[in-house]
Amino acid sequence: MTALDGVRVLDMSRVLAGPLCGRILADLGAEVIKVESPAGDDARLFGPFTDAGDSTFHRLLNRGKFGITLDLKDPADRERFAQLVARSDVLIENFRPGVLDRLGFPPDELLRLNPRLVAVAISGFGRTGPLADRPAYDLIVQAMSGLMSVTGPDGGPGVRVGISVGDVVPALYAAVAVLSALHQRGESGGGQHIDVSMFDGLVSVLESVAMRALHTDEEISPSGGHHAISAPYGTFAVKDGTITIAVASDALFARLADVLDRPGWLADDRYASDAERGRNRVALQHEIEAALADVTHEEALERLAAAGVPCGPVLGVREALSHPHTLARGLVVDEPDGFRTLAGGVRTTGTVGEFRPAPAPGEHDHLLARWLAEEPRAAVREGSP
């Protein structure tokens, strides 16, 4: 039995944030029905493509789902959609605020159709506030959240993070919100409408950067491969490349000084605490790199690891995906047709064991009659999840 066995999700979202939320729920065993317009999800056009012409991006985000096509501008399909809402537990959408409302399904109407529905709306800036009507993509929210201003080469300029964290973070928040709302529904019997914003998500994960902005007058700018506060905590040149060292305590710094045979560092006032080391991180970086100048990356990592100093190689994406630990953890898997893809980041006893490929457009339209013949979810006994 899977974690979300018996939970039905209507996923009418597109591209990344919403589909990823739906895929997380599908990986946990929910019955996820992907509802596409006749034009289809734009992500189907994003490469690279398989030999059969399928978008690998779309397949990654929509595995394990059923697929149907509905045109919500058509009255008959709007009625079918309304009936599906009444027979589902969760709805995911990532239209701009107001679009679903204008199609006849504002939050209060969704909850009228199904008082037990957990409806989650993911948008660029949320349903309230002065920017609510503005469209947003990952790049826009990375720039406006402040994240871009602290990412990039030491001293700037700011750059975009290499993956679409502006979509991934709200997708994770949305999945957490859905699970918490389903738990609450088990107690109250009622559903709710959840407002998730890409902008909110990125601002909320600024952690130490935000605390510096709120509580100090320090200049905040990119610090390259190094932490802006702790040191040594970053990338360091060695004889034949670069390695990472992450030291954020006095005890670990003492281990580093010992393994690199630099006892003088422990008597140097510039390195007396993590805060002092952070203020003098450039000088410390030069000293560490001087100590490692004649050491290969393999030798450096072996010596540091043996001394209990957190360290690691700087891997390319293909190197990371083929690393023995990646493979041992099952992070790269094959779907039944041989398509190589990524597993989820969390596996539980309730996670699906084998992934079903993403559906073709309208692949499961023939199941619509069966779903609509079921009792509405409001008729399900109270107390069920």
Contact indicator for 115, 191 with CB cutoff of 8 Å = yes
In the chain, where the domains are located: 8-206+326-373, 233-314
Identical fold, 8-206+326-373 and 233-314:
no
pLDDT at 293: 97
One-letter amino acid at 340 equals R
Q: Residue 220's closest CA among 142, 148, 292, 172?
A: 148
Round to whole Å and give the CA distance between 179 and 25.
9
Mean pLDDT by 10 residues, the chain (385 residues): 96 98 98 97 96 97 98 97 98 95 96 98 97 95 98 93 98 98 96 98 97 95 94 98 97 98 97 96 97 97 98 98 97 95 91 93 97 87 49
Looking at domain 233-314, its CATH superfamily turns out to be formyl-coa transferase, domain 3 (3.30.1540.10)
What is the model's pTM? 0.94
One-letter amino acid at 364 equals H
- CATH code linked to domain 8-206+326-373: 3.40.50.10540
pLDDT at 347: 83
Contact indicator for 32, 65 with CB cutoff of 8 Å = yes
Phi and psi at residue 53, to the nearest 5°: 90, 10
Q: Which residues are catalytic?
A: 227
218: Cα separation from own chain's centroid: 30
pLDDT at 174: 98
Round to whole Å and give the CA distance between 322 and 2.
29
Tracing tokens 């491969």 back to the chain, one arrives at: 225
